[in-house]
Amino acid sequence: MDHAATHGRLSAANRDFIARKHRLLIDGQWVEARSGKTFAVYDPASGQQIAQVAEGGAEDIDRAVAAARRAFEDGPWSRLKPTERGKLVWRLGDVLEAHADELAELEALDNGKPISDARAVDVPFGCELLRYMGGWSTKITGQHIPISAPGEWHAYSMREPVGVVGQIIPWNFPLLMAVWKIAPALAAGCTIVLKPAEQTPLSAIRLGELIMEAGFPPGVVNIVTGDGTPGAALAAHRDVDKVAFTGSTEVGKMIVQAAAGNLKKVSLELGGKSPAIVFPDADLSVAIPGAANGIFFNMGQCCTAGSRLFVHEKVFDKMMTGLSDEAAKLKIGPGLEPDTRIGPLVSEEQLQRVTGYLESGRQQGAEVVTGGNRHGNQGYFVQPTILTRTTPEMKVVREEIFGPVVCAIRYGDDDLDRIAKEGNATDYGLAASIWTRDIGIAHKLARKLKAGSVWINVHNFNDVALPFGGYKQSGWGREMGYEAIELYTETKAVAALL
Ligand code: NAP
Ligand code: MG
* pLDDT tens, position by position, 56-106: 999 999 999 999 999 999 989 999 999 999 999 999 999 999 999 999 999
CB 174 within 8 A of CB 107: yes
User: What's the 251 CA to ligand 1 centre distance in angstroms?
Assistant: 6
d(CA 400, CA 255): 19
DSSP 144: B
Helix (H) or strand (E) holding 450: none
The number of the ligand 1 atom at minimal distance from the alpha carbon of 227 is: 47
235 lines ligand 1 (CB under 6 A): yes
How does pLDDT run across 425-480, given as a tens digit for each residue? 999 999 999 999 999 999 999 999 999 999 999 999 999 999 999 999 999 999 99
For residue 229 and ligand 1, the question of a CB distance below 6 A is answered with no
User: What pLDDT does 7 receive?
Assistant: 60
Q: Which of 102, 269, 326, 400 is catalytic?
A: 269
User: What CA–CA distance (Å, rounded) separates 309 from 369?
Assistant: 13
Distance 274 CA to ligand 2 centre (A): 21
Nearest ligand 1 atom, CA 177: 40
Residue range 398-407, pLDDT digits in tens: 999 999 999 9
Q: Does the beta carbon of 224 lie inside 6 Å of ligand 1? A: no
Residue whose CA lies nearest to ligand 1 atom number 14? 228
DSSP of 335-374: TTSTT-SB---S-HHHHHHHHHHHHHHHHTT-EEEE--SB
- Answer whether 467 contacts ligand 1 (Cβ < 6 A): no
State how far the alpha carbon of 462 is from the alpha carbons of 75, 405, 446, 455, in Å: 35, 21, 17, 10
What is the structure's pLDDT at 75?
A: 83
**Dihedral angle sign, alpha carbons of residues 49, 52, 53, 56:** positive
Whether ligand 1 lies within 6 angstroms of the CB of 128 is answered as no
Q: What is the best residue among 169, 251, 345, 460 to mutate for testing ligand 1's pocket, by most ligand atoms within 8 Å of CB?
A: 251
Q: Please report which ligand is nearest the Cα atom of 224.
A: 1
Closest CA to 270 of 111, 476, 452, 465: 476
Percent of the chain at pLDDT exceeding 70? 98
Number of Cβ within a 10 Å radius of residue 462: 19
400 catalytic residue (yes or no): no
Q: Which domains does the chain have, with CATH numbers?
A: 3-270+474-494 (3.40.605.10), 275-463 (3.40.309.10)
**Does residue 8 register a pLDDT over 90?**
no
Question: What is the average pLDDT value for the chain, to the nearest integer?
Answer: 97
Bridge partners (DSSP) listed for residue 195: 168
pLDDT at 214 over 70: yes
| Integer angstrom CA distances of residue 471 from 9, 108, 272, 425 | 43, 31, 10, 13
Query: How far lies 117's CA from each of 31, 173, 342, 404, in Å?
Result: 32, 11, 10, 15
Does ligand 1 have an atom closer than 6 angstroms to the CB of 97?
no
Residue nearest to atom 25 of ligand 1 (CA): 248
Judged by its nearest atom, the ligand closest to the C-alpha of residue 256 is 1
Mean pLDDT of 161-174: 98
Inform me whether the pLDDT recorded for 2 exceeds 50. no
Best of 248, 357, 479 to mutate for ligand 1, by most ligand atoms within 8 A of CB? 248
Question: Does 487 have pLDDT greater than 70?
Answer: yes
What is the mean predicted confidence (pLDDT) over 24-51?
A: 98
470 lines ligand 1 (CB under 6 A): no
Q: Measured from the CA of 347, which atom of ligand 1 is nearest?
A: 26
pLDDT band at 1 (very low <50, low <70, confident <90, very high): very low
Which pLDDT score, from 0 to 100, does residue 6 have? Answer: 61
As a whole number, mean pLDDT of residues 382-394 equals: 98
CA distance 219 to 71: 5
So what's the pLDDT on residue 9?
82
What does the pLDDT look like over 468-478, one tens digit per residue? 999 999 999 99
**311 C-alpha to center of ligand 1: Å?**
31
pTM recorded for the entire structure: 0.98
- Give the mean pLDDT of 267-290: 98
Residue 3's pLDDT is 53
Beta strands 38-43 and 48-54 are antiparallel
d(CA 475, CA 472): 7
CA–centroid distance, 327 to ligand 1, in Å, is 28
Query: Which atom of ligand 1 is nearest to 401's Cα?
Result: 34
- Asked if 76 and 136 touch (Cβ cutoff 8 Å), the reply is no
Ligand 1: nearest atom to the Cα of 251: 3
User: Quick one: pLDDT at residue 131?
Assistant: 98
